[in-house]
Structure 1
Amino acid sequence: MNTGTDSGRYAPTEGPSTGILPAHHLVVGFDRYPSSWQALRFAITLAEPLNAYLHVAHIVDLDDVPIDPDGDDWEDRVTDALARERAQACDLLSASPGNWTYSAHHGDPTHLLTALADTHDALMIVIGTARGGLMSALDRALGESVSAHLLGHARRPVVVVPDATNLTKTVQ
């Protein structure tokens, strides 16, 4: 699979420059699940009063690849899926009045998000809650939960945002 660089990172998408230097930086972990969309919306809302630059990072995992890796169009399907997710996220980010970057990476989510946060001296890391389902339960049981790892190893605050359906259930 062509990642665009040897480091496992796809070429980033830069949002329009506002010409205003940001006072802070926020790192947002992103994927296609509802809690991740809520985390991105939360970060966009938070970024404005903080005058924060948003660094949105999609960590490519097995959920992003087609079921049949032996298919002739496997790489094209992965590229198309990632392009669709990028376009949808950038569409949401375009409403942000501040500066932002969207990038996709291969690798360990905890390491990549903490490294990105360290690089930009981010005020915090914002992620969605666990996806739910069997894989999420296995991740928790095996100690592979991204949120648990970040909460245990990050050197800065980690904000875990639930998806909207969980928020609605809690309020009712």
Structure 2
Amino acid sequence: MVEMGGTAPTLVVGHSQDPSSDFALATAVDLARRLGGRLHVVHVIGIEDYPVDSDAADWEQQGEAVIAEQRRRVEARLADAGVPWSYEDRRGDPASELAEVATERRALMIVLGTRGEGVRQALSRLIERRSPMA
């Protein structure tokens, strides 16, 4: 984990390979600047990080390469951001993991991309994943 800065309001940013994540990251940087805050970027590792052919001899290595590239992509985007930031990978349900990180870090907010589906659908998806099964 890359750590910078002191105690300031934390914004948790969910980041994935989806292009909307880059927009969310840029928005979070802008918000962090305005608030004098810091970013904590979280990539929740999923099956989409691994190649389709799970029988490939180097399946695990290919997945790890994609995950490492994901981190490098975020590091490059934040290199000159001018805000303190940190990064971590997690495994699990994205909504649950982001909520857990936000609680652990006492985050002011969670910033997410919408996959082009609109805010209502993105929030609904997040809430549905957090709701206990009936």
- State TM-score, norm by structure 1: 0.67
Query: What secondary structure does 1:114 align onto?
Result: helix
> For residues 18-167 of structure 1, what are the structure 2 equivalents within 5 Å?
18=5, 21-130=6-115, 147-151=123-127
User: CA offset at residue 128 of structure 1?
Assistant: 0.3
Describe the superposition over 1:59-98 as per-residue Cα deviations: whole angstroms up to 9, x where unpaired: 1112111011111111110011111111011110112212
Find the residue that maps to 2:22 and give its secondary structure: helix
Q: What stretches of structure 2 of length at least 5 have no aligned partner?
A: none
| Aligned residues between the structures | 127
1:2-51 deviation digits (Å, cap 9, x = unpaired) = xxxxxxxxxx3x05x34xx3320000011011111100010011111211
**Percent of counterpart pairs with the same letter?**
34
Which has the larger Rg?
1
For the residues of structure 2 that align with 1:113 and 1:128, how far apart are their CA atoms?
Answer: 13
Structure 1's unaligned 5+ residue stretches are: 1-11, 133-144, 155-172
CA distance in 2, matches of 1:71, 1:64: 14
- Secondary structure of 1:128's counterpart equals coil
Higher relative contact order (CA 8 A, sep 6+): 2
Q: 2: CA distance between counterparts of 1:86 and 1:131?
A: 23
Runs of 4+ in 1 over 4 A off after TM superposition: 151-154
